[in-house]
Amino acid sequence: MAERSYGDYQLEIYGGGLRGHVPALPMTFDEMERRAQSALPPSIWSYVAGGAGDERTQRANADAFGGWGLVPRMMVGATSRDLTVEMFGMTLPTPLFLCPVGVIGLCAQDGHGDLATARAAARTGVPMVASTLTVDPMEDLAAALGDTPGLFQLYTPNDRELAESLVRRAEKAGYRAIVVTLDTWVTGWRPRDLSTANFPQLRGNCIANYTSDPVFRSHLNATPEDDLAAATGYWAGVFGHAFTWDDLDWLRGLTDLPIVLKGICHPDDARRALDAGADGIYVSTHGGRQANGGLSSLEMLPDVVDAVDGRAPVLFDSGVRSGTDAVLALAMGATAVGVGRPYAYGLALGGEDGIVHVLRSFLAEADLLMAVDGYPSLASLDRSALRPTVRGPRP
């Protein structure tokens, strides 16, 4: 049997057309976003689609990819492409991963989007970074992942006993790394969320990892099942902790799992993090949801990659809207590229199948781009393959 590639997804679609079938789900991000807005309640739509302030950083994240182009190399014969990556002792079939999204559970029609995401990860081999903020407990998600690796994203609470319990549970459930989000110990100014006066977790949504935790429950006078309002109030009091270098020392001594620091964007911070015991760097501006007025993630990626200098994997997200974007970030030096809003919209429109469609579309586009432009492997992609594009109108 001839070797199949991710690009063969387009052959499935064209084959369906010969039988009178056209894709039920959109093929472009813009159309996916437009239709998802109609499918999601306004309060959830604002949370997923919105950013901080006037959203200039959110727009900059997506627009930054337009400033770079891939130089085609001909007569290479890239008839097959190798998209595998090595990361934290794992050989992964693709360089993509599913970003943690704190309300992904609510984006599904049945209210269990975290489980749908885990099942989609199992079907595609694309790892899931499971958020601390989920509708279903982390153990259920780990079981649904099957053989596909999962990473656990930690919002570090200000109660170290609770933080340790969450980490221990992640270890026991089989997660392969702890991803510490650094920029969300307090929420940024989010006008869209404020306009709906809605913060889902304050309504008791997406806090199952807390309400199922024995340490969290031991601090309550009643079970969360009996008094959700009290549990939610306690959650609000313990959620936010400004993670510091001292905390990294503590966490490093707590677990043997790889520790990835999410939100590192300055090369000095990247070097210090690795010297202090971090195992991975995650360049991210939280999709523009947390801080406005900053640079895009893509603009900051090269300096961080240079600072890391091959000592550790460099994960990347923010603004990725297509397989082409993923290829550009990989050429810029990212080890793996996170998909966020696109899969949330795919989930809203098609559930588990919608996420699979988004991932297969991204992978097909990336695979075909590498084929047409003559890059047979991720190893053949580096900054020498990139050129800045011409900006502004031609004279």
Cα 137 to Cα 13, 140, 212, 241: the distances in Å are: 36, 6, 7, 21
| 291-348 tens-digit pLDDT | 999 999 999 999 999 999 999 999 999 999 999 999 999 999 999 999 999 999 999 9
Please check the confidence at residue 66 and state whether its pLDDT lies above 50: yes
* 55, 204 Cβ separation under 8 angstroms: no
Is residue 155 annotated as involved in ligand binding? yes
| 80-134 tens-digit pLDDT | 999 999 999 999 999 999 999 999 999 999 999 999 999 999 999 999 999 999 9
What is the pLDDT confidence band of residue 393, given thresholds at 50, 70 and 90? Answer: very low
Summarize the confidence of residues 256-262 as an average pLDDT.
Answer: 98
Q: Is the dihedral of CA 372, 377, 380, 382 positive or negative?
A: positive
Q: How large a percentage of the chain has pLDDT more than 90?
A: 97
| 140-187 tens-digit pLDDT | 999 999 999 999 999 999 999 999 999 999 999 999 999 999 999 999
Summarize the confidence of residues 249-260 as an average pLDDT.
Answer: 97
Is residue 43 annotated as involved in ligand binding? no
Tokens 């895009």 belong to residue: 296
Is residue 112 annotated as involved in ligand binding? no
* 173, 280 Cβ separation under 8 angstroms: no
User: What's the N-to-C CA distance of the chain in angstroms?
Assistant: 53
Please check the confidence at residue 204 and state whether its pLDDT lies above 90: yes
What pLDDT score does 99 carry? 98
Identify the CA nearest to 159 among candidates 91, 113, 217: 217
Report the mean per-residue pLDDT for the chain. Answer: 96
What pLDDT score does 394 carry? 42
Is residue 26 annotated as involved in ligand binding? no
Is residue 153 annotated as involved in ligand binding? yes
Summarize the confidence of residues 262-282 as an average pLDDT.
Answer: 98
* 367, 344 Cβ separation under 8 angstroms: no
* 115, 144 Cβ separation under 8 angstroms: yes
**What does the block give as tokens for 189?**
């100014």
Amino acid identity, position 203: R
Summarize the confidence of residues 31-42 as an average pLDDT.
Answer: 97
What pLDDT score does 391 carry? 61
Is residue 272 annotated as involved in ligand binding? no
Summarize the confidence of residues 3-14 as an average pLDDT.
Answer: 91
Among the listed residues 112, 219, 286, 357, the single catalytic one is: 286
CATH of domain 25-376: 3.20.20.70
Domain boundaries, the chain: 25-376
Q: How large a percentage of the chain has pLDDT more than 70?
A: 98
What is the pLDDT confidence band of residue 3, given thresholds at 50, 70 and 90? Answer: low
Known active-site residue 219: no
What is the pLDDT confidence band of residue 390, given thresholds at 50, 70 and 90? Answer: confident
What pLDDT score does 225 carry? 94
Is residue 262 annotated as involved in ligand binding? yes
Is residue 172 annotated as involved in ligand binding? no
- The reported pTM is 0.96
Amino acid identity, position 50: G
Is residue 302 annotated as involved in ligand binding? no
What pLDDT score does 23 carry? 96
Is residue 340 annotated as involved in ligand binding? yes
